[in-house]
A = this chain, B = another copy of it.
């Protein structure tokens, strides 16, 4: 059985301008690995309607799941929900169930549910809400696209909601062998290993420390015994 595949779409000018360093991608990558979902592609686009619509359509067709982050707040540059609705040809409006959540939240906290905040209850027709235990305003799932907030604490809570309901595959196992030689010296050994273990992914990540070249060799796969066997063979051949 192969694992389900996924892509992520990060929406936000602040990432592309370098003002903010994205944290959600790395978080999602780790969570999906644990859950047995293979993250295959990430795209980062600006707060621009055609860019969002085109990307979400392309990713939705190509992968089993798409996770988006950003652009679902109350301000004028939060256009993600409307773009997703258009990308799927669905209508969008303030929805009663989402509005009820916000009414209750602002009743408790004493804030005003003004017109701007009500934008956060705009949900495409037929979408399922994603719970937001941090700040209430919900995300939503439409088709195979899970639309979540960009604020890291909210994003993380929403990922947990989605993954609890999503069928995963075998978690990806990995072992790392640290080799204190330049990767050019071990490349042939690694290539032979990759040929012998076609079911595993074997990556080589060079580093330089105190003027000495080394590499971390990472062996990944769903079958722990195979990963063990590959790492054992590699350690023997490289006399690590």
Contacts and interface: CB of A to CB of B under 8 A. Distances in A.
Question: Can you tell how many copies of this chain the complex includes?
Answer: 2
Interface residues of A, number: 65
Interface stretch (A14-22, A138-146, A230-238): A14-22
Contacts of A49: none
Nearest to A120: B184
B21 A26 contact: yes
A73 interface: yes
Contact of A76 (B112, B187, B208): B187
Contact of A18 (B21, B29, B111, B116): B29
A18 B159 CA distance: 15
B75 A187 contact: yes
A182 B109 CA distance: 12
Contacts of A83: none
A239 interface: no
Nearest to A113: B184
B18 A42 contact: no
Interface string A108-148: 00011011110110000000000000010000000000000
B45 A203 contact: no
A194 interface: yes
Contacts of A184: 73-74, 111, 114, 116-117, 120
Given A26-B21, A203-B77, A220-B17, A185 B40 contact: no
12 contacts: A15-B29, A17-B29, A17-B33, A17-B39, A19-B205, A22-B26, A73-B204, A74-B184, A76-B190, A116-B185, A116-B191, A151-B207
Given A43-B44, A120-B184, 17 more contacts: A13-B203, A14-B203, A14-B205, A18-B29, A18-B31, A18-B32, A22-B26, A41-B51, A42-B43, A73-B183, A77-B194, A77-B202, A77-B203, A116-B184, A117-B187, A135-B208, A151-B206
Interface of A: 13-22, 25-26, 29-33, 39-47, 51, 73-77, 111-112, 114-117, 119-120, 135, 151, 153, 172, 174, 182-188, 190-191, 194, 201-208, 218, 220
